[in-house]
């Protein structure tokens, strides 16, 4: 099973493409989208309510039977940490379930700052997707700090199209009243319109 965490503010086609790329490349049965409740890396930043973000993610994946959504981080109080989510999922699924945590190469230089990164690498395999702004080979970056995990195959690189979507850029476009068609799923665009999101 693939796990794709994120703020999803808003969820866009890049998220879906990353999930599908990893699913196909790794032969995964499904990909679980996990919207963050209170993302610790974005503490102090303005974030759309968890309720709206969860609903948008559900709309974004509704037409793909290989994608599903978990609200486990939203249901928890306090900051959302990947290691806590993995522990919760590990206790909820059969013991032999293999987890791949899907991550963009652009966040790898901060991975050592995540809560209990070594434990994360024990609870799952890390599937690294190349992203604009990230290194050409994210696995090499991780090998500098986590050589044993990389050497044992816990960290894998997933080749695919470089996805150049930015949620912050989409928020800016929406705030200016411009169209985000072909950048977010139609159902998400309609939800944003109906609820007046991102229009400051």
Pairwise CA distance, residues 165 & 31, whole Å: 19
Mean pLDDT of all residues in the chain? 91
pLDDT digits (tens, 9 = 90+) for 101-133: 999 888 888 899 999 999 999 999 999 988 665
Using CA atoms of 91, 94, 96, 101 in order, give the dihedral in degrees to the nearest 10.
-60
- pLDDT of 45 reads 77
Q: What token pair was written down for 11?
A: 């969820």
pLDDT digits (tens, 9 = 90+) for 4-58: 999 999 999 999 999 999 999 999 999 999 999 987 765 567 899 999 999 999 9
**Parent domain of 27:** 2-195
Q: What token pair was written down for 105?
A: 């190469």
If one counts every other C-beta atom within 10 angstroms of the C-beta of residue 198, the result is 18
Query: Tell me, what CATH number does 10's domain have?
Result: 3.40.50.620
Average pLDDT over residues 55-73: 98
- pLDDT of 41 reads 64
Has residue 135 got a pLDDT over 60?
no
Has residue 72 got a pLDDT over 70?
yes
Q: Report yes or no: 165 and 19 within 8 Å, Cβ to Cβ.
A: no
Has residue 163 got a pLDDT over 80?
no
Q: Report yes or no: 22 and 28 within 8 Å, Cβ to Cβ.
A: yes
Is 68 among the domain residues? yes
Has residue 91 got a pLDDT over 80?
yes
Q: What token pair was written down for 152?
A: 């044992």
> Which pLDDT band holds residue 90 (cuts at 50, 70, 90)?
very high
What pTM, to 2 d.p., does this model score?
0.92
Has residue 136 got a pLDDT over 80?
no
159 DSSP 8-state letter: -
Going through 36-168 in order, the beta strands assigned E by DSSP cover: 67-69, 100-104, 125-129, 155-158
163 DSSP 8-state letter: P
Q: Contacts by 166-170 with C-beta closer than 8 Å and gap 24+? A: 167/7, 167/8, 167/9, 167/10, 167/12, 170/10, 170/12, 170/198
Pairwise CA distance, residues 90 & 96, whole Å: 9
Q: What token pair was written down for 158?
A: 């997933």
Pairwise CA distance, residues 178 & 170, whole Å: 9
Q: How many domains does the chain have?
A: 1
Cis (ω within 30 of 0) for the bond into 168?
Answer: no
- pLDDT of 162 reads 74
Specify the higher pLDDT residue, 105 or 68. 68
Average pLDDT over residues 92-99: 93
Is 200 among the domain residues? no
């Amino acid at each position: 099973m693939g796990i794709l965490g994120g703020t999803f503010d808003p969820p866009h086609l890049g998220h879906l493409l990353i999930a599908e790329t990893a699913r196909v490349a790794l032969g995964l049965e499904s990909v679980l989208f996990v919207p963050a409740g209170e993302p610790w890396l974005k503490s102090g930043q303005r974030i759309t309510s968890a309720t709206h973000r969860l609903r948008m993610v559900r709309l974004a994946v509704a037409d793909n039977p290989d994608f599903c959504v978990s609200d486990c981080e939203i249901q928890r109080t306090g900051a959302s940490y990947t290691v806590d989510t993995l522990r919760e999922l590990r206790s909820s699924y059969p013991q032999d379930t293999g987890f791949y945590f899907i991550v963009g190469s652009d966040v790898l230089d901060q991975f050592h700052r995540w809560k209990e990164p070594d434990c994360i690498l024990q609870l799952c395999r890390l599937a690294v997707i190349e992203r604009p702004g990230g290194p050409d080979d994210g696995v090499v970056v991780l090998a500098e700090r986590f050589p044993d995990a990389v050497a044992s195959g816990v960290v894998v690189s997933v080749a695919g199209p470089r996805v150049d979507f930015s949620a912050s850029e989409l928020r800016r476009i929406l705030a200016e009243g411009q169209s985000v068609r072909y950048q977010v799923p139609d159902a998400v665009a309609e939800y944003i319109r109906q609820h007046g999101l991102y229009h400051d």
